[in-house]
Amino acid sequence: MTTLELWTYSIVGVTFALYIGIAIWARAKTTGDFYVAGGGVHPVANGMATAADWMSAASFISMAGMIAFGGYGGSVFLMGWTGGYVLLALLLAPYLRKFGKFTVPEFIGDRYYSQTARVVAVICLILASVTYVIGQMTGIGVAFSRFLGITYEMGIIVGMGIVAVYAITGGMKGITYTQIAQYVVLIFAYTVPAIFISMNLTGNPLPQLGLGSEYVADGTASGLTLLAKLDQVVTDLGFKEYTTQVMGSSLNMFVYTLSLMIGTAGLPHVIIRFFTVPKVRDARFSAGWALVFIAILYTTAPAVGAMARLNLMDTIQIGPVGSETGNLVYDERPDWFKRWETTGLLKWEDKNDDGRIQYYDDKNEAFAAKAESFGWKGNEMVTVNNDIMVLANPEIANLPAWVIALVVAGGLAAALSTAAGLLLAISSSISHDLLKGVFMPKISEKKELMAGRLSMIGAIILAGYLGMNPPGFAAGTVAIAFGLAASSIFPALMLGIFAKRMNTAGAVTGMIAGISVTLLYVFQHKGIFFIPGTEFLAPELGMGPDWFFGISPNAFGAVGALVNFVVAIVVSKFAAAPPEHIQHLVEDVRIPRGSGVATGH
């Protein structure tokens, strides 16, 4: 066993034991414990748990990789995901907490006085959550297969087993306190390597500041900031300038950001976290604390992405472009390169039989003539998967084995924490909303708790199967899940809180129309995804007339949300207004207690 494997097994093993121990300590004994952790979680603790629930494998593993290859265009993820939390804190969390229900479908069912609305909400929730959980299972499989020497499938099975122990045993109560521990693990795992690498490249220990600090090569100041150096390196090889590169059109970037924002505010597994605090004001404070905890990672991610891209380019391009020593000799490639090749996430093809690695933008017509004069016959790095950048970055930078092992534990913590939240949202929608809410309203609490645990088992098995056999429409990115939540759940919640005359017909038709339009667009373009780092290199992926106004499938949730709003409002005009008690209920939820007492209004 290598030193790295020993460190990885040790650190991952300790963290897994911690998660299981917490679950046993925080065992759920009632449905209140299982669904909302008894409603007594402190807002700071809930903020930390919410941050872990939110920062999934996509945030930990993929986001910096997408920024590494998407450059400035990668800001859509930072702005979209953090902006969504602002929407959640201001427009949804306190009002939903005041309503006092266990689940999002329960709120929709009661607010729209309809079991049909509740069932439609359950279907939308399951579609969004299952799509999202596929990404978490993929992250678990990649981390296990690369660092623990087991197959991708076996990695998913081990991950399923760990989640099953603490999620089924503890429910929301166990998940909450486990997620607090997972937050601590993942934030240390993300920031410690970033500090090391920032020190190596700039001498600045703060990655956020290192991004704009002077780049230092072999102890010699370059006279360029790190970003300026990266711009120079990528443009020398025909790639677009890192700091000005965008994702398609400006319209697509705007719509993509909006889709991620409202999708964040509509994700059920995030919303239910705000049902776990004692008071309404605690829900708002929880969202605020979550933003603080999230910001630590999200402000570090741009630095991690830029530094990872620079390290990768410097490793392969070891001299002047086009010179005899300008490219790495394949047989002399470093060990980290060999290890990632075995996963299939990094692939090289010798197109000109020179035994060297040419890595450049072979779709750049202006650079093509220069590349031809060098004897290059195409980009030979045929696969550089976004997801390897965070996990491989410490290896590329030659950091200690314990740091690399810490990153693995952090990636697993991020994937497991979000997977647990998603699985709880799915299982509670089945046991509480469908079983108790629709089919067996008189079921005892003990039987409902058992049904919740059985539903959790079923959800875990489904998630594992889809992780091993992902459907085509979900293979690109979990951004699709945000689009599904944005187009279905977010408008129903917003209208339910702020439009007292919104009725059953409007809400139901709006949800169906929004999610249907989004799914149809995604399925129509299945296999055509807006993946940062490839979209500007491969126009054949479908950009242009094949996309509605140039809007990618991953960004289409905002359009679906607009359809939802329009259909709901129009249909509601032709249907009977909600009963008076429902309209009064909406006003009571939205207006603070005591309002108007002093004036008598």
Q: Which helix (H) or strand (E) holds 502?
A: none
The model's pLDDT over 150-192, given as tens digits with 9 standing for 90+, comes to 777 888 888 888 888 877 877 778 888 888 998 999 999 999 9
DSSP state of 529: -
In the prediction, which pLDDT does 561 show?
94
Q: Is the pLDDT of residue 474 over 70?
A: no
Q: Is the pLDDT of residue 533 over 50?
A: no
Among 64-78, 238-252, 441-455, 537-551, the least confident range: 537-551
Q: Give how far Cα 121 sits from Cα of 276, 504, 581, Å.
A: 21, 12, 22
| Amino acid occupying residue 60 | F
Question: In this structure, are residues 514 and 120 in contact, taking their beta carbons and an 8 Å threshold?
Answer: no
Q: 384: how many CB neighbours lie within 10 A of its CB? A: 23
Distance CA 529, CA 92 (A): 30
The model's pLDDT over 2-60, given as tens digits with 9 standing for 90+, comes to 787 788 889 888 988 888 888 888 777 777 777 777 777 888 998 898 888 878 777 78
| Token pair 């667009």: residue | 521
In the prediction, which pLDDT does 478 show?
65
Q: Is the pLDDT of residue 117 over 50?
A: yes
In the prediction, which pLDDT does 440 show?
83
Positive/negative CA dihedral, 156, 162, 164, 170: negative
Distance CA 146, CA 405 (A): 11
In the prediction, which pLDDT does 565 show?
96
pLDDT band at 365 (very low <50, low <70, confident <90, very high): confident
pLDDT band at 321 (very low <50, low <70, confident <90, very high): confident
Average pLDDT over residues 418-445: 81
Distance CA 94, CA 592 (A): 10
What is the 3-state secondary structure of 391-404? HHHHHHCCCCHHHH
SS3 384: strand
DSSP secondary structure of 449-462: HHHHHHHHHHHHHH
Written as six digits, the tokens of 50 are: 């919410």
In the prediction, which pLDDT does 146 show?
65
Distance CA 200, CA 147 (A): 24
CATH fold of 3-308+392-474 reads Sodium/glucose cotransporter (1.20.1730)
Among candidate residues 357, 324, 366, the one with its CA nearest the CA of residue 235: 366
Among 68-77, 447-456, 471-480, the least confident range: 471-480
In the prediction, which pLDDT does 422 show?
82
Q: Which helix (H) or strand (E) holds 582?
A: helix 580-590
Distance CA 136, CA 57 (A): 6
Distance CA 310, CA 327 (A): 15
The model's pLDDT over 134-143, given as tens digits with 9 standing for 90+, comes to 777 877 777 7
Distance CA 117, CA 107 (A): 10
Written as six digits, the tokens of 84 are: 């969504």
Among 30-39, 233-242, 305-314, 491-500, the least confident range: 30-39
Question: In this structure, are residues 297 and 59 in contact, taking their beta carbons and an 8 Å threshold?
Answer: yes
In the prediction, which pLDDT does 419 show?
82
% of residues, the chain, pLDDT over 70: 91
Q: What is the mean pLDDT of the chain?
A: 82
Q: Is the pLDDT of residue 386 over 80?
A: no
Task: Find all residues with CB under 8 Å of 592, minimum gap 6, and list them.
Answer: none
The model's pLDDT over 283-303, given as tens digits with 9 standing for 90+, comes to 778 888 888 898 899 899 999
| Amino acid occupying residue 293 | F
Task: Find all residues with CB under 8 Å of 319, minimum gap 6, and list them.
Answer: 325, 326, 327
In the prediction, which pLDDT does 600 show?
44
Output Rg (C-alpha) for the chain, integer angstroms.
25
Q: 338: how many CB neighbours lie within 10 A of its CB? A: 10
Identity of the highest mean pLDDT range in 39-43, 280-284, 499-503, 593-597? 499-503
Identity of the highest mean pLDDT range in 60-74, 435-449, 502-516? 502-516
Q: Is the pLDDT of residue 74 over 90?
A: no
Angular region, 329: left φ>0, alpha ψ -120 to 50, beta rest: beta
Distance CA 554, CA 376 (A): 34
pLDDT band at 502 (very low <50, low <70, confident <90, very high): very high
| Amino acid occupying residue 325 | T
